[in-house]
Structure 1
Amino acid sequence: MKIGLYFGTFNPIHIGHLIIANHMAENTDMDQIWMVVTPHNPHKKKTSLLDDYHRLQMVFLATEDYPKIKPSDIEFKLSQPNYTVNTLAHLQEKYPNHEFSLIMGEDNLNSLHKWKNYEVILQNHTIFVYPRISSEVISGEFINHPKIHRVGAPVIELSSTFIRDNIKNGKNIKPMLPVKVWEYIDHNLFYKK
């Protein structure tokens, strides 16, 4: 089975994440997309994150109507901070019959050379890249790389930071979130402070 791994803190998951994940599930040869909830991204401050299990629950609520999109807590069990190369090695060992690919925005592709053992990732895994408006020019090393595939997915300029800031400021962000995610956030009074 071909699995696309869409990593994120999903703090919170929003419709932009779902649009990208669904596009990848429907328009590539991947059988499933796993939304991998990252407990601690080495490039982000942990203090701004909701509890891991709340974020996982929101991903579960957001994806339950999409049979090809699954929530994953695989990184919860691994040492932190999480490095993608370690997660991939763990997944390959746990699911030897699956073929794992990465899904990332063009902005992340530009910083791929800073990732721990990125050469190992590129050697063993395909990367599916979706467009971002705010992208810089792609580094020469990655322009025509045989393991990197650009996918003409919709360009979604919506961020979890924007959503959190708007909730904090009392704005209505309901259209930006799956209904059950909005209800979960509203019920728990998340991101109000």
Structure 2
Amino acid sequence: MSKKSRIGLLGGTFDPPHWGHLWLAELARVQLNLDKVLFLPVGDPVHKQGQIITAVFHRLQMISLAIQDNPCFVLDTTDCTRPAPHTTVSLLPLLQQSHPEADFWLLIGGDSLRDLPTWVEPGRLIQHCRLGVLPRPGAEIDWADLSTAVPNIKTAVDMLDGPTLSISATAIRRWVKNGNEPRYLLPTAVAEYIHEKHLYLG
């Protein structure tokens, strides 16, 4: 019987993709012994209804530029090309169809783990994948409350160990909108694309 592949799943709007995304993906790849990490941009995020999201085309281009130097990072458009609603729990069966011989790790920050009870069907989510979690300063996990809300959550979590990068896409967009350069906040190729396409200028 062939050995199962180990795949990390990194979802988000990636508006824009930055060093924090790449660091989480690489840290998880090494510590969880992943064969690859799928970058899964969402088309219409349910938790950002009413917010202005950059066109999918631009976000796909930026992700491609951001991950071009790492052969273990792969852009997967499943989540942005399927019909709404775009929830993680409904995405996983589609990925399992594409990768039937894979074990999945959903890669998230400690703040997302803390807020997992607010996700759609978190109990069913952890039946389809494990969680690779990078702790975040200020995002304390109350395991008792979390275990009550999402039974068996502790056995589904692999905590990652490494420095955290306090970079947010929201802060980058605001920084660019105010006329500043985002150099060193994200890959050079992404910064150049933002400048060339006049993104985030309002």
1:45 aligned residue: 49
Partner of 1:61: 65
Q: Equivalences for 1:142-181 in 2 at 5 Å?
A: 145-181=154-190
Supply the AA of the counterpart residue of 1:190.
L
Which consecutive unaligned segments of at least 5 residues does structure 2 have? none
Q: How many residues are aligned here?
A: 193
Question: Does residue 8 of structure 1 match 2:12?
Answer: yes
- After TM superposition, give the deviation of residue 65 of structure 1 in Å: 0.4
* Stretch moving more, 116-125 or 33-42: 116-125
Separation in 2 of the partners of 1:167 and 1:68? 30
Which TM-score applies when normalising by structure 2? 0.90
Give how far 1:60 is off.
0.6
CA distance in 1: counterparts of 2:97 and 2:81, whole angstroms: 14
Decide whether the 8 Å contact of 2:38 with 2:74 is kept in 1: yes
Once structures 1 and 2 are overlaid, which stretch shifts more, 139-148 or 76-85?
Answer: 139-148
Give the structure-1-normalised TM-score.
0.94
Could you tell me the percent identity over the aligned residues?
Answer: 30
- Report the alpha carbon displacement of residue 172 of structure 1 after superposing the two structures with TM: 2.2
Q: CA deviation at 1:31?
A: 0.9
Are residues 33 and 46 of structure 1, via their aligned partners in 2, closer, same or farther at CA, if it must alter by over 3 Å? farther
SS in 1 for 2:181: coil
| Aligned match for 2:106, one of 83, 102, 110 | 102
CA RMSD in angstroms comes to 1.6
For structure 1, the 5+ residue unaligned runs are none
2-structure distance, mates of 1:144, 1:76: 28
Q: Which amino acid counterpart does residue 179 of structure 1 have in structure 2? A: T
